[in-house]
């Protein structure tokens, strides 16, 4: 079925993938969460993403997930766009989370590919079309096959791009050939955002509209400047910034996300607290690597 194209991007520039602070008892630390949100907005981010991978949504109960989204929307208070993670490997659960995010006042949804099930491309299409039929919010697809075990093809993006509620995709596959083919097959208003902090500039040179960033939890001004330089077609200056911060970005992924970024947040006093099992504290060796990279950038 053909749908007329009338989409504008949910955001352009830098969206922080918010970490979720926990207290020593394992509960969400809302005071620290509020401070983190405020620090990001003060740092110039264009949007925030709550309850994504970096937010440890996979370890949250449904009630916690809903409460975290509600809190974030209220704290942001229309200062920037709020994108709510609502993905699941159970399509009905994804709809449930989507409707609660919609009722909370979120601006858009982030839907990761169904993990563990490893559905077919036809299954992906049916999954997202089912969700889109049942929510009014724009949907950002999320492709991260290293975590989910399944990747979109460019041809599947082409089919889904015909649905006006599907705004685009957070691409974290690291596959530039997939990105190029997607840009070739899909209309210009099917938007792409980098899901990898170390690939912001090259992806934006191929037409991505910005980044959904882990590093922004620590360096919001840098990630915003980098993405905005690209939007202004100053790729030379943006490239210098990308290269300048590569060591720090690498350190943020020396262990599985969000282990290093929560350690970094604790180091700068933003009280991210502990991780939830099965994630555990960063190793002493990698903590020293992280500290050295932060000290080199005067972050600690």
Q: 142 an active-site residue?
A: yes
Q: What angle do CA 170, 42, 12 make, to 5 degrees?
A: 30
Q: 130 an active-site residue?
A: no
Question: Could you give the CA distance from residue 284 to residue 171 in angstroms, rounded to a whole number?
Answer: 31
Which of the following is catalytic: 128, 157, 165, 170? 170
H or E stretch including 205? helix 200-205
User: Which of 13, 11, 3 lies closest to 231 in space, CA to CA?
Assistant: 13
Question: Could you give the CA distance from residue 23 to residue 165 in angstroms, rounded to a whole number?
Answer: 37
User: Which of 42, 36, 39 lies closest to 50 in space, CA to CA?
Assistant: 36
Which of the following is catalytic: 128, 142, 191, 245? 142
The three-class DSSP label of residue 157 is helix
Helix boundaries (H) for 59-199:
62-76, 91-104, 121-132, 145-148, 154-160, 176-185
User: Which of 17, 7, 12 lies closest to 46 in space, CA to CA?
Assistant: 12
Question: Could you give the CA distance from residue 157 to residue 239 in angstroms, rounded to a whole number?
Answer: 28
Catalytic residues: 142, 170
């Amino acid at each position: 079925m053909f749908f007329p194209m009338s989409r504008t991007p949910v955001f352009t520039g830098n969206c922080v993938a918010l970490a979720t602070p926990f207290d020593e008892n394992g509960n969400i630390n809302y005071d620290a969460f509020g401070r983190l949100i405020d620090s990001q907005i003060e740092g110039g981010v264009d949007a925030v993403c709550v309850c994504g991978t970096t937010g440890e949504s996979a370890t949250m109960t449904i009630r916690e997930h809903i409460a975290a989204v509600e809190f974030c929307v209220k704290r942001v208070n229309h200062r920037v766009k709020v994108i709510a993670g609502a993905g699941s490997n159970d399509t009905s659960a994804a709809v449930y989370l989507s409707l609660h995010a919609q009722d909370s006042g979120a601006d858009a949804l982030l839907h990761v590919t169904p993990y563990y099930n490893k559905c077919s491309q036809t299954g992906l299409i049916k999954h997202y079309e089912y969700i889109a039929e049942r929510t009014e919010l724009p949907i950002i697809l999320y492709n991260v096959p290293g975590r989910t075990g399944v990747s979109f093809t460019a041809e599947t993006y082409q089919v889904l791009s015909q649905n006006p509620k599907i705004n685009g995709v957070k691409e974290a596959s690291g596959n530039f050939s997939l990105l190029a083919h997607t840009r070739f097959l899909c209309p210009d208003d099917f938007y792409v955002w980098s899901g990898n902090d170390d690939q912001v500039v090259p992806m934006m040179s191929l037409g991505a509209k910005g980044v959904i960033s882990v590093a922004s939890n620590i360096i919001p001004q840098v990630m915003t400047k980098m993405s905005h330089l690209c939007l202004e077609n100053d790729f030379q200056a943006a490239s210098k910034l990308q290269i300048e911060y590569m060591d720090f970005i690498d350190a943020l992924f020396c262990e599985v996300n969000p282990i290093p970024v929560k350690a970094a947040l604790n180091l700068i006093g933003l009280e991210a607290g502990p991780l939830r099992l099965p994630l555990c504290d960063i190793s002493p060796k990698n903590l020293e690597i992280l500290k050295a990279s932060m000290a080199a950038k005067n972050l600690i």
